[in-house]
């Protein structure tokens, strides 16, 4: 867990150092290391920190890949998104949403600029495909309790339950707002 914590700081140093300046990279990494919640999660071995590392790495590498049109970085971004999906259910949601956003971006750029090179999605898909397929097999096909088909309900019934429970969503939003206002923990990051 400590390795993921340090790696999160280093990926921030890399991104800010290559996209802004070396000084911004080192300041960003130092600032991240001074935040209490990631340190707490790393000490207590929560799986949130590996998930945060994979999501952060996938996102930052994806941004650099789109700016530089580097297919190798798209592959790495897909691999990191696949590892996020392997780590937690939220990672699976991240992979699906990122794939949908990339697909939408590809459609928008192909319509607006017919002369510009379209965004290649195949490296991202290749990078994440095997891990995504493995997660689906383990969670849906081999899972005893049918994690996404809770208590043998249909997918439609499960989705209706998730999206119709407003009190759960309200609790999440209240907790998020509370954390955003906690200056001591986040040092004004928000």
Kindly report the average pLDDT of the chain as a whole number. Answer: 81
* pLDDT at 121 exceeding the cut of 80: yes
What would the pLDDT profile of 57-72 be if each residue is shown by its tens digit? 999 999 999 998 889 9
What would the pLDDT profile of 13-31 be if each residue is shown by its tens digit? 999 999 999 999 999 999 9
What would the pLDDT profile of 141-175 be if each residue is shown by its tens digit? 766 555 554 456 666 665 666 556 555 666 767 77
User: CA-to-CA distance for 47 and 4, rounded, in angstroms?
Assistant: 10
At 149 the pLDDT is 47
At 83 the pLDDT is 94
- Report the percent of the chain where pLDDT is more than 70: 76
Closest C-alpha to 2, from 41, 59, 30: 41
């Amino acid at each position: 867990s400590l390795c993921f914590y340090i790696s999160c700081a280093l990926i921030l140093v890399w991104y800010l150092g290559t996209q802004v300046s070396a000084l911004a990279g080192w300041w960003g990494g130092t600032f991240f290391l001074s935040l209490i919640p990631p340190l707490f999660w790393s000490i207590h071995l929560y799986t949130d920190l590996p998930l945060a590392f994979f999501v952060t790495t996938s996102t930052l590498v994806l941004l650099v890949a789109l700016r530089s049109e580097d297919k190798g970085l798209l592959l790495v971004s897909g691999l990191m998104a696949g590892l996020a999906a392997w780590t937690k259910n939220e990672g699976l949601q991240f992979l699906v949403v990122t794939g949908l956003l990339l697909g939408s971006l590809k459609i928008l750029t192909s319509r607006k600029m017919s002369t510009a090179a379209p965004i290649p999605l195949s490296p991202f898909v290749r990078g994440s495909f095997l891990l995504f397929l493995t997660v689906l097999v383990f969670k849906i096909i081999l899972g005893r309790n049918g994690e996404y088909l809770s208590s043998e309900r249909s997918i439609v019934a499960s989705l209706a339950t998730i999206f119709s429970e407003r009190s759960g969503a309200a609790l999440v939003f209240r907790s998020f707002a509370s954390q955003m206002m906690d200056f001591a923990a986040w040092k004004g990051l928000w």
